[in-house]
């Protein structure tokens, strides 16, 4: 079992729709969860972090965390073509100070 799992996609949504990206993790001791966006050929850019169960909203982005189900998700409302990128889920266990990344989900937003 991979430590952090994501569907590789591509996830295709039309402009203006809601994109839903999902991630599961295996380490129950994980404390911090992050979503990074990575454009082709570029480095990852932090877009959301979440530490407590529930929802956290920031503009068009909402991160959701369910520690009991070991599940993290990212919703992107009013998707734009500029949102087309690979979205990386990353999980950190504070016992060992490293980020464990999933393989990423490629999102394609069509005009």
Partner 1 sequence: DAGVTQSPTHLIKTRGQHVTLRCSPISGHKSVSWYQQVLGQGPQFIFQYYEKEERGRGNFPDRFSARQFPNYSSELNVNALLLGDSALYLCASSQGPSGVAGDGYTFGSGTRLTVV
Strands (DSSP E) contained in the chain are 4-5, 11-14, 19-25, 32-38, 45-50, 54-58, 61-66, 71-76, 85-92, 99-101, 105-110
Q: Which of 54, 69, 96, 111 binds partner 1 (CB under 8 A)?
A: 96
CB of 50 to partner 1, least distance (A): 10
By the rule CB under 8 A, 43 interacts with partner 1:
yes
By the rule CB under 8 A, 32 interacts with partner 1:
yes
- Residues 67, 32: Cα–Cα separation, whole Å: 10
Interface residue list for partner 1 (CB under 8 A): 4, 31-32, 34, 36, 42-46, 49, 51, 88, 90, 92, 94, 96-104
């Amino acid at each position: 079992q991979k430590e952090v799992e994501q569907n590789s996609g591509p996830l295709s949504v039309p402009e203006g729709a809601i994109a839903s990206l999902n991630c599961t993790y295996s380490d129950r001791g994980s404390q911090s969860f992050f979503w990074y966006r990575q454009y082709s050929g570029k480095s990852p850019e932090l877009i959301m972090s979440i530490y407590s169960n529930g929802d956290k909203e920031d503009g068009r982005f909402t991160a959701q965390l369910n520690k009991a189900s070991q599940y993290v998700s990212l919703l992107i409302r009013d998707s734009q073509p500029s949102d087309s990128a690979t979205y990386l889920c990353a999980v950190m266990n504070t016992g060992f100070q490293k980020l464990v990344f999933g393989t990423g989900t490629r999102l394609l937003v069509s005009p």
